[in-house]
């Protein structure tokens, strides 16, 4: 049987040419190609500034530090997300406070978000204070999961009501929109990823998008050890003197080799998203027709899903399975059998509260965030990438059908 990866990057000769140009120029550290990649990515999303980094994790950390998140503070994040979201909060010295999600969208449940703010915090001197720890509630880090924007308008409404900061974790969501407005253009800084599983890639890499020029300037300084002058600017002036360093920063710089790859990739973004959306329509049709054991992903009215990943849920009722735990065992066996016949799959992502560090530190149990726990156990990511054909997708779904029937 033909083998199907869960995803793969889409490259042409243009990446090779631009990377070669970068190598031949002798400028391979952060420089002019990174600057142009920042400009083109921000332009695509309708945002004024892009600040490239080594990963989305460092993008999140950079934005959080620039916005003043630190020890003695809390930041609320969804319980179903890749661990980088909460790890970035921990890296600042702050405490992540988890919020449950909606099973249909995989995104933060804004009703639960309000409950957490109102029940776990009290107002003192114009700030929200954690009733148990005394920490100040700094803000919210919502995630646009798998290429679908969360209900960011309601998140922003709550943030305005309670004077909180919002940083959007848009690692998966470059190109995602609500009513034509791109992620990152909702009034907050957003952080995107260029990992190979994302719609476009620079190998590793990330970026903060913002319309706040002062914030962008501060993040550019922080990502270069706290330098007040970039290497690119030094090259155009008196480069023999080192710049001033007024604070301790980080080395979060993207290389120009990566920037060159990114310049080729950003030109392909709309094509990649279009192809993935076509593939999602085909999966929706095939699964609805022959695989009722799977629940297909949703795209609410007015939302534009990029399908960075095509993630389904097992339908326990159709399967006749009585618990999430049993469903998880069934899911894992199914994925193992599919891998054996050449179909690569993944769970969607994980429930943070069930990961060792967070479980041990905070004493979480599965029932603390029931929807996140269910999605951790029952989600399945199917192969989707540029170049997958309808015949391929029919073959995949047909073999899943055979495998389910044999279990």
Residues 67 and 86 in one domain: yes
The reply to whether 310 and 348 lie within a common domain is: yes
Tokens of 187: 């009034």
Q: Is 117 within 8 Å of 128 (Cβ atoms)?
A: yes
Of the three residues 212, 240, 265, the one that is the final residue of a domain is 265
Structure tokens given for 398: 């047909």
Residue 296 C-alpha from the chain's centroid? 20
Backbone phi and psi for residue 76, each to the nearest 5 degrees, phi listed first? -90, 135
Q: Residues 153, 192: one domain?
A: yes
CATH number of the domain bearing residue 325:
3.90.1150.10
Distance from C-alpha of 23 to C-alpha of 260, rounded to nearest angstrom: 10
- pLDDT tens-place string over residues 210-248: 999 999 999 999 999 988 765 555 455 555 667 778 888
How far apart are the C-alpha atoms of 265 and 25, rounded to whole Å? 20
Q: Is residue 373 part of a domain?
A: yes
Give the domain range for residue 46: 13-265
Q: How many CB atoms lie within 10 A of CB 362?
A: 14
Contact residues for 405 (Cβ-Cβ < 8 A; gap 6+): none
Q: Are residues 162 and 253 in the same domain?
A: yes
Q: Is 249 inside a domain boundary? A: yes
Helix, strand, or coil (residue 85): helix
The closest of 345, 399, 52 to 220, measured between CA atoms, is 52
The two three-digit tokens of residue 326, written as one number? 């049993």
Q: Distance of CA 267 to CAs 83, 177, 271, 361, Å?
A: 30, 18, 8, 44
In a 3-state reduction of DSSP, which class is residue 125? coil
Whether residue 240 is found in the same domain as residue 275: no
Two tokens at 84?
């980088």
CB-count burial class (<10 Å; 0-12, 13-18, 19+) for 297: buried
From first to last of the 407 residues of the chain, give the pLDDT tens digit.
Answer: 799 999 999 999 999 999 999 999 988 999 999 999 999 999 999 999 999 999 999 999 999 999 999 999 999 999 999 999 999 999 999 999 999 999 999 999 999 999 999 999 999 999 999 999 999 999 999 999 999 999 999 999 999 999 999 999 999 999 999 999 999 999 999 999 999 999 999 999 999 999 999 999 999 999 999 887 655 554 555 556 677 788 888 999 999 999 999 999 999 999 999 999 999 999 999 999 999 999 999 999 999 999 999 999 999 999 999 999 999 999 999 999 999 999 999 999 999 999 999 999 999 999 999 999 999 999 999 999 999 999 999 999 999 999 999 99
């Amino acid at each position: 049987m033909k083998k199907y990866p869960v995803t793969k990057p889409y490259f042409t000769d243009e990446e090779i040419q631009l990377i070669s140009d970068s190598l031949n120029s002798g400028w391979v550290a952060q420089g002019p190609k990174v600057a142009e990649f920042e400009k083109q990515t921000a332009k695509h999303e309708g945002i004024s500034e892009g600040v490239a980094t080594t990963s989305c994790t460092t993008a999140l950390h950079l934005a959080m530090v620039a916005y003043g998140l630190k020890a003695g503070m809390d930041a609320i994040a969804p319980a179903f997300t890749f661990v980088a979201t909460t790890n970035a909060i921990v890296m600042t010295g702050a405490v992540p406070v988890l919020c449950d999600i909606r099973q249909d969208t995989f995104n933060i449940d804004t009703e639960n978000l309000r409950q957490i703010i109102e029940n776990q915090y009290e107002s003192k001197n114009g700030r929200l204070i954690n009733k148990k720890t005394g920490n100040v509630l700094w803000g919210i880090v919502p995630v646009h999961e798998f290429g679908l924007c969360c209900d960011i308008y309601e998140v922003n409404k709550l943030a305005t009501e309670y004077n909180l900061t919002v940083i959007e974790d848009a690692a998966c969501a470059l190109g995602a929109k609500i009513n034509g407005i791109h992620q990152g253009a909702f009034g907050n800084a957003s952080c995107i990823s260029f990992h190979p599983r994302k719609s476009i890639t620079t190998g590793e890499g990330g970026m903060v998008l913002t319309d706040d020029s002062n914030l962008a300037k501060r993040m550019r300084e922080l990502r270069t050890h706290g330098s007040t002058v970039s290497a690119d600017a030094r090259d155009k002036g008196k480069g023999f003197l080192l710049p001033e360093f007024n604070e301790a920063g980080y080395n979060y710089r993207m290389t120009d080799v990566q920037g060159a790859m990114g310049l080729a990739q950003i030109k392909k973004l709309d094509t990649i998203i279009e192809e993935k959306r076509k593939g999602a329509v085909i999966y929706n049709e095939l699964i609805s027709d022959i695989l009722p054991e799977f629940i297909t992903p949703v795209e609410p009215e007015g939302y534009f899903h990029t399908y960075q990943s095509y993630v389904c849920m097992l339908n326990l009722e159709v399967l006749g399975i009585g618990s999430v735990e049993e469903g998880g065992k069934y899911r894992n066996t199914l994925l193992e059998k599919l891998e054996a016949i050449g179909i690569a799959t993944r769970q969607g992502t994980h429930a943070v509260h069930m990961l060792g560090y967070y479980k041990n530190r905070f004493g979480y149990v599965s029932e603390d965030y029931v929807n996140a726990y269910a999605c951790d156990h029952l989600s399945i990511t199917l192969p989707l990438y540029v170049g997958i054909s309808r015949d391929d997708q029919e073959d995949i779904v047909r073999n899943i059908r055979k495998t389910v029937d044999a279990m």
